[in-house]
Amino acid sequence: MSPYTPPRQVVYERRDPVDPRTLERELRHLWQEAEDESAKEGLRITKACLLNLTVYCMDEQAAQEASEAIGRLTRQHPCRAIVIQADPEATAPLLRAWVSARCYVAGADRQICCEQILVRVGGPAIEALPGLLQPLAVSDLPAFLWWRGTHAPDGRMWQRLGLGFDCLIVDACQGTHSEDELRALARLVGDDALRPRLLDLGWIRLAPWREAIAELFDAPWALKSLAQVRRVRIEFGCRPAALLLVGWLSSRLGWRLSDDEKSLVGGQGQAVELELVECRGEPDIKACALETGADPPTRFAVRREMSAAIALTTAGPNRPEERRQMSFKSFQLHETLCRALELLTGDPLLEEAVRSAARLAGVARIETAE
């Protein structure tokens, strides 16, 4: 079998900045230039667009990463992409734009192309963004706002920038890495007047962990133990990822805060201890273990052993330790984004996990590994 060869990509761009007020006209000029250029190679251009994707970035590196990810996903999700590089701290107003077309060769004589607009904006000019973005949206197509800011968007920012979008995409593990990010998102999705459909790239990366933990309790005897869990220990590299995992467990198992809001209560009324251990330099999650209150306890654990595998172990009274492995895939940025763009209706499980994680963040004992 011959190795897979990715389709050849071609970028047509106007290197000089264009007037942001005339972007549609500049795009028409770009397409004409691209068609003339591709005709010299005997290729026809087909414009494709199935959705609108706007990315809000706070620095050049984030904008560059977003642009590269978009270039790699347009074969699966052709779109009109707008990448915003914003500098709210700038004192002087700045508003400049560039246009490009990203294409891949399909077949012998055809290129499938998507539009990409880069907008650099700073200072007071940021207030002009909503008026700039709304006319650029391709009508009757879903619209996603991918937020790559250093802090989660609050209600005021969403009202100003996001009301024209169907879904908000965030990454809990980008930015300050604090539980404040989750609290801000919980307030946003809990506001009935705003209530964006929320998608989280960090939550998507947690999918293999959620699957592995669920698999631990496939056996009937293990499932009976699930309601008796009294201790959860998570080793993590990203605190919001650990809290999201706790939020998912809590929302699925019916855990709640105690009346004084200082501890966690399980589904059978038992106290549940949360221990989160930060392992600097590790990815989002390194390991998760759940123990019952029996003496000795039954223990269920998942741990990343290598980049491509998670080890699952169970051990308990009168039961020998069982150990198995499941494959683990680390998603690249464009792959995670592809999965998010397939969830137009949002993810109710994520919203429940966010709300639960925001409530429980204060009762977890957080340590740092030696």
User: Whole-angstrom Cα distance, residue 328 to residue 208?
Assistant: 7
Residues 189 and 298 in one domain: no
Q: Look at residue 7 and tell me whether its pLDDT is greater than 60.
A: no
In a domain, 4, yes or no: no
DSSP secondary structure letters along 119-135:
EEEEGGGGGGHHHHHGG
* HEC string for 207-260: HHHHHHHHHHCCCHHHHHHHCCEEEEEEEECCHHHHHHHHHHHHHHHCCEECCC
Residue 65 lies in a domain: yes
Q: Is 253 found in the same domain as 174?
A: no
What is the residue range of 309's domain? 205-368
- Asked if residue 161 belongs to a domain, the reply is yes
pLDDT at residue 4, rounded to an integer: 37
The pLDDT of residue 85 is 94
249 φ/ψ angles, rounded to the nearest 5 degrees = -60, -45
Among candidate residues 200, 222, 239, the one where a domain is terminated: 200
Regarding whether 278 and 195 lie in a shared domain, the answer is no
Whether residues 345 and 244 share a domain: the answer is yes
Query: Is there a single domain that holds both residue 220 and residue 348?
Result: yes
Instruction: With respect to residue 1, please indicate whether it lies within any of the assigned structural domains.
Output: no
C-beta separation of 99 from 18 below 8 A: yes
Predicted confidence band of residue 193 (pLDDT cuts 50, 70, 90): low
Last residue in a domain, options 177, 200, 223: 200
293 lies in some domain: yes
Q: What is the mean pLDDT of residues 194-201?
A: 84
Same domain for 280 and 310: yes
Residue-level pLDDT at 349: 92
Are residues 229 and 145 located together in one domain of the fold?
no
Does 297 have pLDDT greater than 60?
A: yes
**pLDDT (tens digit, 9 = 90+) per residue, 99-119?**
999 888 877 788 889 999 999
The answer, yes or no, to whether residue 242 has pLDDT greater than 50, is yes
**Residues 329-341, mean pLDDT to the nearest whole number:** 90
* Residue 241 shares a structural domain with residue 160: no
Domain count of the chain? 2
What's the rounded Cα separation, in Å, for the pair 278 and 108?
52
| CA–CA distances in Å: residue 276 to residues 204, 245, 338 | 20, 11, 30
Mean pLDDT along residues 219-242: 91
Q: Are strands 44-47 and 110-122 parallel, antiparallel or unpaired?
A: parallel
- Write the Ramachandran bin of 205: left for phi over 0, alpha for psi from -120 to 50, otherwise beta: alpha
pTM confidence score: 0.89
Contact predicate 72/45, CB 8 Å: no
Residues 36 and 117 in one domain: yes
Indicate whether 144 and 247 sit together in one domain.
no
Residues 27 and 142 in one domain: yes
Confirm whether 243 is domain-assigned: yes
* Mean pLDDT rounded to a whole number for the chain: 86
Which phi and psi angles does 39 have, rounded to 5°? -60, -30
Among 28-32, 80-84, 304-308, name the one with the lowest average pLDDT.
304-308
Which pLDDT value is given to residue 69? 93
Q: What is the mean pLDDT of residues 216-240?
A: 91
Question: 2 in a domain, yes or no?
Answer: no
**Mean pLDDT, residues 167-189:** 80
Residue 255 is assigned to a structural domain of this protein: yes
Question: For residue 65, is pLDDT > 50?
Answer: yes
pLDDT of residue 316: 80
Choose the final residue of a domain: 200, 223, 258: 200
pLDDT of residue 52: 95
Do 227 and 174 fall within a single domain?
no
Ranges assigned E (strand) in the chain: 9-13, 44-47, 51-57, 79-87, 94-106, 110-122, 143-148, 167-170, 197-200, 229-236, 256-257, 264-265, 271-278, 285-292, 299-306, 309-316, 319-327, 365-368
